Amino acid sequence: MEKGTALFTGKRAALPVPPPRRTRYWATELSEALTLNSAAFAPFSRLYRQALTQLELPQQPIAMHSPGFVAETDAEAAERYWPYHKAVTDRLGRERGWPPLDAAQYQAGLSAGGSLYVGSPETVARKIARNMRILGVSRFDMRYATGRLPHEDMMRSIELYGTRVAPRVRELLAEPVPVP
């Protein structure tokens, strides 16, 4: 089979990989929805949409899927979530050859550009809405079960997500985007 030929569509698209790479990316079967987890993937979101256009395929939805935990305050959420997130990340790291997670990496994940949706309802809602706009996604799925997170903490997080985060995200996405 010719390199770059799609197995299913018989079409191929050659698109440049976002900098700094100077190679070419062969988009093949793009009929499935794309799932991303942070704004760092914005170049791939754009590349995916360009490939669909170039292949004359209908645009497909893009979703976000990320780990998260919601508590009343940012500090409470970060403190409660840390030991369980670290245990899971370290276990996966042992299997996949990663070093153990340290506090600085955890803090980077909690930052506005990080892939962890951990914090107060307002913090989590703002991060979700920001990244949904940047990536052009239509759905956010929060992975709320991490390791041995106590059941009562998980249930409270889910309650806050449903009663405060989700409505706030809808409000934020309904607001006009400020033009610089």
Give residue limits of the domains in the chain.
13-54, 63-174
pLDDT band at 126 (very low <50, low <70, confident <90, very high): very high
- pLDDT of 19 strictly over 80: no
Strands (E) in the chain, as ranges, are 13-16, 24-27, 34-36, 62-70, 117-119, 139-143
The Cα 77–Cα 120 span in angstroms is 7
Pick the range with the lowest mean pLDDT from 18-27, 74-83, 158-167: 18-27
Residues recorded for the chain: 180
Instruction: Classify burial at 28, counting beta carbons within 10 Å of its beta carbon; exposed 0-12, middle 13-18, buried 19 or more.
Output: middle
For the chain, the average pLDDT equals 80
Give the model's pLDDT for residue 127.
95
Instruction: Classify burial at 42, counting beta carbons within 10 Å of its beta carbon; exposed 0-12, middle 13-18, buried 19 or more.
Output: middle
β-strand partners of 141: 65
For the question of whether the overall pTM of this predicted structure is more than 0.85, the answer is no
Chain centroid to Cα 41, Å, comes to: 8
CA 99, 100, 102, 107 dihedral sign is positive
**Range 51-64 average pLDDT:** 85
For residue 175, give both structure tokens.
């607001």
Give the model's pLDDT for residue 33.
47
- pLDDT of 59 strictly over 90: no
Give the model's pLDDT for residue 37.
54
Give the model's pLDDT for residue 169.
96
